[in-house]
Structure 1
Amino acid sequence: MTRHPLACIVPPDLLIELARTESEQRDALLSTLAIDQGLRTARAEIAARTIALPATLALATGGGSPTRRIYDQAHSSDQTPGTLVRSEGDPPTADPSVNQAHDNFGYTYALYWDIFHRDSIDGQGMAIEGLVHFGTDYDNAFWDNAGHMFFGDGDGKTLTDTTKGTDVIGHELTHGVTQHEANLIYSGQSGALNESCSDVFGELVEQYHLGQTAEEADWLIGADIVGPLLSPALRSMKAPGTANQYDRQPATMDGYVQTASDNGGVHINSGIPNHAFYLVATAIGGTAWEAAGQIWYDTITDPRLRPNATFSSFAALTLRAARTRYGAGSAESDAVKSAWDAVKVPVR
C-alpha cells in the first residue's frame, strides 16, 4: 500500500514517454525522473521506519488568513528549505516565481476558507510553504506530504515555470487536504480518486479566483505551465484523452487501464472521476464550487470514505452527500447519479 507517495503533477509514465521521443529534452526529462525516483525511494525508507501514532484533533482558533512562506532553492534538488525570500505580509519581490507561488497559495487558501470554512490544509491553520527554483530544468511540481510544495522551472518545451499554475498549486495542496482527511491509498482506484480530487479542487481554485461559471471554464489542468510539447494542457476534465498528443486518459470505465505502472495508473484512470465531476457541475450549472464542489468536499471529509475506496464506493458517498444536503429528489442528486451512470461507474 502506498501511503506516502510523491504526489507529482506530471506522472512518471508521461516523462518516460517524452524522454523516449524528444531527444532535445531528454537530459532534462531523465534528470527529472532520476530526482523523482530518488525522492520516492527516500520516502519509502522513511515510511518503513515510521511508527504511526494516533491522530489528535486540535481545536481551530481564528482563521481566515493564510500563513505563507516561500523559499528559493537556487536550483538545488535538496528537499531542505533553502533561503527564505518571502513571508506572510512581506511585499512582492523581484522574482516572479516567488510572487506567483505566494499569490496562488493565497487563492487556494481562499477557496477552502471562503467556501468550505477550512482553515488551511489541515483545517487548523497550517503554514503553507513553497520551495521555488527546485532542481535544474526540473519538469515537475510536487507536494511532499510534510508541508512543502516544490516548484520546478521546467525545460521550456515540456513545462515552463510551474508557479504560474493556479490549478496546479490547488491540485498539489489538495493532496495535503486528502492526506489529512481520507488518506486515500495512492494505488489503483483509491489512488486515481486521490489524483482526481486534487484535479477537482485545483480546478475549483482557478474557477473561484477567476469568477468563472462551470460553462465559462475551460476545465483544463495545467494549461498555464505546459510547454509546446504538452500544449494545450496536461489533462482535460471536459474531454479526457484530448488535452495533448500524449493524453491517454479514459472518460468512462470502458477505457479503464489495468497497469502496474504509475501505482496502478493513478494519473490515467483519474480521468473517469474527473469527467464525472465535470458532468455534475455542468448539469447543475452556475458556479462549480457551490453545489458540486460542496458535494465533493462533503465526500472527502466523510469518515465513511475509506483509504482503499473504489470508484463505486466513492460514487455512492457523493450521492449520499447530495441527498443529505439537497434532498433525494433534488436536481443536485439527480445530476450526481446521472454523471456516474454516464462514466459507467455503478453506484452501490
Structure 2
Amino acid sequence: MPNELRVHCAIPPYILEYLLEDEDGEVRQAALNTLLTTARLRGQRSILAAFPGAATPGNGRRTVFDCRNGTNLSFAVLARSEDGPPSTDEAANRAFESLGQTRDFYQRVFARNSIDGRGMRLDGYVHFDEKYNNAFWDGRAMCFGDGDGIIFSDLTGSISVIAHELTHGVTEYTAGLEYRDQPGALNESMSDVFGALVEQWTLNQTAEQADWLIGREIFTPRVPGDALRSLKAPGRAWARDPQPDHMSKYVHTTKDHGGVHYNSGIPNKAFYLTAVTIGGYAWQAPGTIWYEALKASSSDTRFQEFADTTYRRAGELYGADSPQQRAVLGAWQQVGIDITGVPAGAATEQALLLGRSGSTGQEDSVTSTAGQVRALTEKVRELSRDVAELKESVTARR
C-alpha cells in the first residue's frame, strides 16, 4: 500500500459543492467542513499505520470502532467485534451487519475471500467527525460520518453505500484501476454496480424488481424517490444530477479527478441494460461477466477496452452469440460504445430494436425486446448466408 491515503468517498464532491450554495447556513457549514476534512485526510500518511494487523488476513473478521466524533482513529474505542454481543449503538450494528453482508456476497457469489481475496479483516469506524457528510474507504478501513441531519442522515444506513466503498478495495486488489479519467470512472462504476448487486442479493430482488438507486436512504431522507446515483437513469437520480448516460454526453473536466463521479454513469447504464435484458438475478450472469472483466483489467483500462472484455467474457462463459453476449453487445451500443471487431450492422440493429431507452426514457421496454433481438440476429445470419451463396453462384457463371 502507498504511504498516502487512498480516500474513496461515497458522496461526490459536486454534491458538497452544490451544498455550499444552500440557503441553510447549517447545511453550508457542514458541507464546507466535510470538504476540508476530506482534503486533509488525502494529504496525510496512513492513519492506520500504527495498526499492523489492519490489513492482515483474518477470514474477513469484522470489528467496528466508535470515533466519538473525532478524526484520529487511534483514539476510537471498540463498539462491536466478531465474537462480541450486539452494541447499544445502532450505527455500530448497522455497519457491522453491512460489512458482513458485503463479505458474504463476495464469498458466496464469487468465492472471494474478503476484500483482498485473502481474508482481509474488515474494520469500520462510526461517528467519524462532527456532522461529516461522507463515508470513505482509505485502503484499509471504512469510516462513516453521521451526516448533517438535514441533507444527509447517518451514512451507516445504506448498504449500497457501504458495499460501494468496500468494492473500491476489491477493485484495488484486483485491477488497480487508476483513480482518474476513464479508468477512475470505471473504478467508481464497479463500486456502484456491485453496491447495487449486494443490496439486490440481500433483498433477493430480480433486476426488474430493483430500483437501481445508490444511497436513497441517506441522501435527503425526507425526499422520496431520489438518491446519490441511478444506474437505471443516470442524470435523473436527483434534481441536479450531472451524470451522463451516453458517450455523446461525456463530461470533459479537470475536476473530480477527471470526472470520475460524472462519467461512471455511462458504464453504469451499460450494466443496467445488460442486466434487464438478460433478466432474473443481476448478480448471476451479468455480475459474473462484469466481475470476470474486472479481473482481466489493468490500471489504465478505458471504457472501450472494458466493453470489449465484457463481450469476450460473455462469449467464453455463456457461448458465442448467446443471449448473454448479445445483451452485452446491445447494452454498450446503447451508451455509444461499439464492440471492437463486431460488424457494426449487428450492433446497430440491436440498438434500434432496443429503442435507445437511455435517451427516450423507456428502459423497461428492453426486457420485452430481447426475443426480437434474438430473432433479428438469426435473420441477419440467414441473410448473410444467402448473400454468400448468391456471390458463389455469380462467380460460378463467370
Do these two structures clear the TM 0.5 threshold for a shared fold by scoring above it? yes
Give distance in 1, aligned partners of 2:23 and 2:126: 26
Q: Supply the AA of the counterpart residue of 2:118.
A: Q
Structure 1 segments of 4 or more deviating over 6 A? none
Aligned counterpart, 2:34:
32
Q: Supply the AA of the counterpart residue of 1:6.
A: V
Offset from partner CA, 1:198-254 (integer Å, 9 cap, x none)? 000000000000000000000000011112587621000000111111211111111
Aligned counterpart, 1:270:
264
Indicate yes or no: 2:211 matched with 1:210: no
Relative contact order, CA 8 A, sep 6+: which one is greater?
1
Aligned counterpart, 1:222:
215
Offset from partner CA, 1:106-156 (integer Å, 9 cap, x none)? 1101110111000100111110000000010000000001x1000000001
Q: Deviation of residue 346 (structure 1)?
A: 2.9
Q: Deviation of residue 21 (structure 1)?
A: 2.7
Distance 1:336-1:22 versus aligned 2 partners, 3 A rule: farther
Counting only pairs closer than 5 Å after superposition, residues 12-91 of structure 1 correspond to structure 2 as 12-24=13-25, 25-42=27-44, 66-80=60-74, 82-91=76-85
Q: Deviation of residue 76 (structure 1)?
A: 0.3
Aligned counterpart, 1:317:
309
**Aligned residues: CA RMSD:** 2.0
Greater displacement, 10-19 / 333-342:
10-19
CA contact (8 A) 2:232 2:272 kept: yes
Distance 1:88-1:275 versus aligned 2 partners, 3 A rule: same
Greater displacement, 92-101 / 221-230:
221-230
CA contact (8 A) 1:152 1:162 kept: yes
Give distance in 2, aligned partners of 1:310 and 1:27: 37
Give distance in 2, aligned partners of 1:332 and 1:93: 44
Q: Deviation of residue 81 (structure 1)?
A: 6.0
Aligned counterpart, 1:140:
134
Give distance in 1, aligned partners of 2:155 and 2:111: 27
Distance 1:92-1:286 versus aligned 2 partners, 3 A rule: same
Q: Supply the AA of the counterpart residue of 1:122.
A: D
Structure 1 or 2: more helix by fraction:
2
CA contact (8 A) 1:158 1:230 kept: no
Counting only pairs closer than 5 Å after superposition, residues 133-212 of structure 1 correspond to structure 2 as 133-145=127-139, 147-212=140-205
Distance 1:130-1:326 versus aligned 2 partners, 3 A rule: same
Aligned counterpart, 1:246:
240
Structure 2: tracts of 5 or more residues without a match: 47-55, 341-398
SS in 1 for 2:263: coil
CA contact (8 A) 1:230 1:244 kept: no
Q: Supply the AA of the counterpart residue of 1:209.
A: T
CA contact (8 A) 2:115 2:167 kept: yes
Give distance in 1, aligned partners of 2:126 and 2:234: 30
Distance 1:81-1:308 versus aligned 2 partners, 3 A rule: farther
Q: What TM-score results when the alignment is normalised by the length of structure 1?
A: 0.90
SS in 1 for 2:21: helix
Q: What TM-score results when the alignment is normalised by the length of structure 2?
A: 0.79
Offset from partner CA, 1:170-205 (integer Å, 9 cap, x none)? 000000000001000000000000000000000000
CA contact (8 A) 2:247 2:336 kept: yes
Q: Deviation of residue 38 (structure 1)?
A: 0.6
CA contact (8 A) 2:266 2:335 kept: yes
Q: Deviation of residue 6 (structure 1)?
A: 1.6
Q: Supply the AA of the counterpart residue of 1:270.
A: S
CA contact (8 A) 1:230 1:246 kept: no
Q: Deviation of residue 79 (structure 1)?
A: 3.8
Offset from partner CA, 1:148-173 (integer Å, 9 cap, x none)? 00000000122101111111110000
